[in-house]
Every structure is written in structure tokens, then in C-alpha cells.
Structure 1
Amino acid sequence: MTYIENFKKFQPLLYELVARDVKIKYRKSVLGVLWTLLNPLLMMVILSIVFSNLFKFDIENYSLYLLSGQILFNFYNESTSGAMTSILGNAALIKKVYIPKYLFVLSRIASSSINILSSFCALILVMLFTRTELHFTMFLVVIPLGYLIVFSLGIGLILAALAVKFRDVIHLYTVFLTALTYLTPIIYPISMLPDWVRMIVNLNPLTGILNIFRDVMIYNTVPTIGEFLISFVVVAVTLVFGLWVFYKQQDEFILNL
């Protein structure tokens, strides 16, 4: 109850932090938030032309397949990278007044969540433009999106705690994201991979979340209870571990800022 009351007390500050993050990102931009809609669309057009013609991927609705992968991975990339530097970026404020430090991580995840909703609109527009059938399984899309947001929060808490003490984490994570791009089935069908590579890709938590998202959003398929439960367990464990790491390290933040 103490934590809940503390969160309610600082809730207005969280709103201000989220608004600040959004304003800073699109400051002096003519189109502003519209870029969250245009960016995935433009990238989808370019990558669709390159990969569908050059590599001849035989995927139904390849443009939607590609765009859905982009939207989810871009959110994970943006949210976790922002969360990682959120404590360091607010060092001056943290040194002056008491603020629950998890709010800075949470604000980065929340501001990125606003962006993914805009990008989701881009996916709907492409579905309408390509005359893709809209079906009732689309309402289940809140489940994989919820999984993704909570999973990113857990990873963000871990990265934020580590980055304060070890600045090298920031550089290492950039390299890790590059590798993760290729270990997530964004642009290629997982069926084309050799068995040993496919096993590695399937161990990637983002793969399971992305597969559920595509099934309910594009392919009018409801994943099995097992698929939902596996992703739920992975997400829950990641969040709990992230909270534990952050809680253990937060009292030492002020010594390393």
C-alpha cells in the first residue's frame, strides 16, 4: 500500500515526464507526431521492394508481415534504449530532490507506448489500402502489445540500473540490438532458417510476442493457450527480475551519477 500511495503522489510528475519526452523528440519538427506514422510506412515501402524482389520471400501479405515486425521491434529498441539512459539523463534532478527513480524509466516506456499506438494506425491503414480482411481476432492484439510493453519495462529497469554503474553497458547494448535485429523474424520467414538457427531465434522472447501479434492481427488465427502462457511467464519473470535488480541498486545511484 505504501508503494501504491507513493505512486499516486507522484503520478502528475509522471505525466509531465512523458509529455516532456514526447515534446523533446519532435521539437522543431514540422510534421511532429505524424512521423510516428510516416516512418514505418516509408521503411516498409523501401524494405518491401528490396526484400520481396531481391530475395523472393514467399510470404502472404509481406508488406504487413514486414510492417508488424518493424513496429514491435522499433518500440522495443526505442523504449529500452531510452529507459537505459533515463537515470543518467536526469542526474541533475535526482541530486536535488527526492523522486522515485523508477518514474524516469516508466516515463520512457510510456512515451514510447504513445508512439507504438500511432504506428499501429499505420498498420491499419496499410491493411485497408491492401484490402486485407479485418477480423475479430484483431481485438486480441492488446495481449501481445501488453506483453511487449511489460517485457520492455523489465528490460529497461535492468539496463537503467546497470548503466548507472557501468557506462560500458550503453555501448554494448547498441551492439546487442544489432544482433537482435537479425535474431528476430522481422524481414524473413522463420521457416527458411536451418534448424539450429531456428532454435536460437525461437528462444528470443520477441519472437513469441511477434508471432502472437501477427497471428491475431494479420492471419485471423488464435494462438494456443500454451503460446500465450509461455510469453506470459517470460514477461512476468523479466518484470519481477527487473524490479528486483532496480530496487537493489537504486540507493547507490546517487554515488555513481
Structure 2
Amino acid sequence: MSQIETIWAHRPLVVNFAQRELKARYRRSLLGWLWSLINPLTTIMIYSLVFSVFLRAQAPPAGDGSNVFALYLFSGLVVWALFAAMVNGPMDWLQNVADLLRKIQFPADAAIFGGAASAVVQSLIEAGILLAIMIGIGNVSWAMLTLPYVMLCAMLVGLGIGFFVSIANAYFRDVRYLVGVVLNIVFFLVPIVYPPSIIPEEHWGLPLLDLMELNPMFHFIEASRDAVYFGDVSWGRLAFIGAVSVTVFLAGWTFFVRKSVDIAEEL
């Protein structure tokens, strides 16, 4: 039986894990799911204040000619937040079922997929808010239809990396902290909270913009902005992020399946 068939056969278990993660997320919280709105909006307000007010960064014109920095920022953060959740999450999702794995036999990746499904719910809420705002201000184009594809690609590439780091973290707990450091570095190396226009083409003899574009996440973020903010589509970019996401996801999943057989005792 292939791993796809195995996961499909255990889909009730995946759903159960997803429901458990969703219920636990804001348990005993007075505001509950309102935090899923408050957290991203607060982040956007802070970064908008720092970069557009203090540093006077200007957002490039959107598809409708407007240049609201907060919306430019939001259109990139939606995809980044999903990617980061998929990278960080598997370490916790695997650890949360450690006791269960020691008692009964089931595919460990079911817990990962269940956790991923719960994280997608949060991302859909954020994307829904972004799209509602864009529609409300009249910045609408058919390019928006590519946003689900971009989000799917971000989910797959993040989950592929998450599969790798979850196994590594089971053996070396330092991995969790290292992943956090690396994500913070990548976050600021990719133009998420600032436009690429503020980066000099060359500095210290290095072609900074060209080097930035070598980072695959640059193209995931720009594809998201193309879809929602600019109202444009780069088919080459969409093909590129699709190829990267499928390759990384399959490599990570295959690695996880092979290494997770006896992982319970390491958790």
C-alpha cells in the first residue's frame, strides 16, 4: 500500500487530529477565535508603522493605482505565515502524539497532516480578510483566482521542510531553536515587510537584488502579491513555485515516512 493510500485509509484519524488542534488552540481564552483576527492585524499595524511611517518606505502602486502600505504588507504576510506555520508546526504536532505512538500503531504523518489542516484554517481566515478588503476598495482582478494555488504551494514547501525538521528535532532538541532563528533571518532577507525598491542593486560589490531573487521564497511572496495586490500573473513564476513545492514536499514526506517508523522512543 502506498503512503497516499495509507493516509487516505486513516483520514478519520487525520480529521480527529485536526479537530483536536483547533479546539486546543484557543482553549480557556476569553476572546477565543477573535485572536485569529487580532494577531495578524496587530502584526500588520506594527510593521506598517515602522516601515511606512518611521522609515518612510513607499509601497509600489497596486493594480488599481493605490499604494496602501498595510495592504502591500498583508498580501505578502498571508503566504509567509502559512509557510512558517508549516515549517514550525510538525515539530509540535509530532511531539503531541508521542504517548499515543508508543501505545498504538498508526502512521505518524497522520498527526502532521491533521495539524497542517488546522493551520490552514487560520490562513484561510487571514486570506478571507485580505480578499474582502481588496474587493471592498475595488482592487479586483481575475489574478486573485491564483491565490489558492500560491497558498497551496506555500503549504507544500513548508510542510516538506517541516517533515525534515520534525525528525531532526526528535533526535536533537536544538533544532527547534535553530529553525526559529533561520526563519527570522529569511523573513527579513525576503521583501515581505519592505518593498524590493529600497534594496540597492549593488552593495559591497554584491548584486543584492539578484541574490535576493535566488531565494525561492522571494517568488512565493511576489506570486501572492501578483495575485492580490498587483492584479497580475507571471506564469513562469507560478510554474517555478509549483515545481519547487512539489519537489520539496515529496522529498520531505518520503524522508519522514522512512525515518518515523521507530521514532516514538525518541520523542
TM-score, normalised via structure 1 length: 0.92
% of aligned pairs identical?
Answer: 27
Query: What SS does structure 2 have at the residue aligned with 1:85?
Result: helix
Unaligned runs of 5+ in 2: 60-66, 202-206
Residue aligning to 2:75: 68
Query: What SS does structure 2 have at the residue aligned with 1:119?
Result: helix
CA distance in 1, matches of 2:253, 2:178: 22
Residue aligning to 2:229: 218
Residue aligning to 2:176: 170
Matched, 1:191 2:202: no
Matched, 1:54 2:65: no
Q: 1:119 aligns with which of 114, 126, 140?
A: 126
Query: What SS does structure 2 have at the residue aligned with 1:29?
Result: coil
RMSD, aligned α-carbons: 1.8
CA distance in 2, matches of 1:153, 1:182: 21
The structure showing larger relative contact order (alpha-carbon pairs under 8 Å, at least 6 residues apart) is 2
CA distance in 2, matches of 1:31, 1:40: 15
CA distance in 1, matches of 2:58, 2:194: 10
C-alpha contact (below 8 Å) 2:85/2:158 kept by paired residues: no
Matched, 1:158 2:164: yes
C-alpha contact (below 8 Å) 1:101/1:250 kept by paired residues: yes
CA distance in 1, matches of 2:143, 2:112: 32
Q: CA deviation at 1:254?
A: 2.8
C-alpha contact (below 8 Å) 2:72/2:225 kept by paired residues: yes
Report Cα offsets for 1:10-43 as digits up to 9, x if no partner: 1111111101111111111223222222222222
Q: 1:134 aligns with which of 136, 140, 148?
A: 140
Q: 1:4 to 1:177 in 2, by over 3 A?
A: closer
* Counterpart residue type for residue 45 of structure 2: V
C-alpha contact (below 8 Å) 1:105/1:160 kept by paired residues: no
Residue aligning to 2:18: 18
Q: 2:153 aligns with which of 138, 147, 153?
A: 147
C-alpha contact (below 8 Å) 1:137/1:220 kept by paired residues: yes
Q: 1:192 to 1:40 in 2, by over 3 A?
A: same
* Counterpart residue type for residue 92 of structure 1: D
Q: CA deviation at 1:4?
A: 4.1
CA distance in 1, matches of 2:213, 2:75: 17
Q: Which has the higher helix share?
A: 1
Q: 1:99 to 1:174 in 2, by over 3 A?
A: same
CA distance in 1, matches of 2:211, 2:169: 27
CA distance in 1, matches of 2:134, 2:158: 26
Paired residues for 1:242-253 under 5 Å: 242-253=252-263
C-alpha contact (below 8 Å) 2:18/2:115 kept by paired residues: yes
C-alpha contact (below 8 Å) 2:143/2:232 kept by paired residues: yes
Matched, 1:232 2:236: no
Q: CA deviation at 1:135?
A: 1.7
Q: 1:73 to 1:164 in 2, by over 3 A?
A: same
Q: 1:81 to 1:4 in 2, by over 3 A?
A: closer
Report Cα offsets for 1:216-248 as digits up to 9, x if no partner: 11111111x321221112112111210222123
Report Cα offsets for 1:19-75 as digits up to 9, x if no partner: 111111111122322222222222222322232111111212311111122222222
* Counterpart residue type for residue 53 of structure 1: V
CA distance in 2, matches of 1:209, 1:244: 23
C-alpha contact (below 8 Å) 1:109/1:152 kept by paired residues: no
Residue aligning to 2:204: none
Moved more, 20-29 or 192-201: 192-201
CA distance in 1, matches of 2:39, 2:135: 18
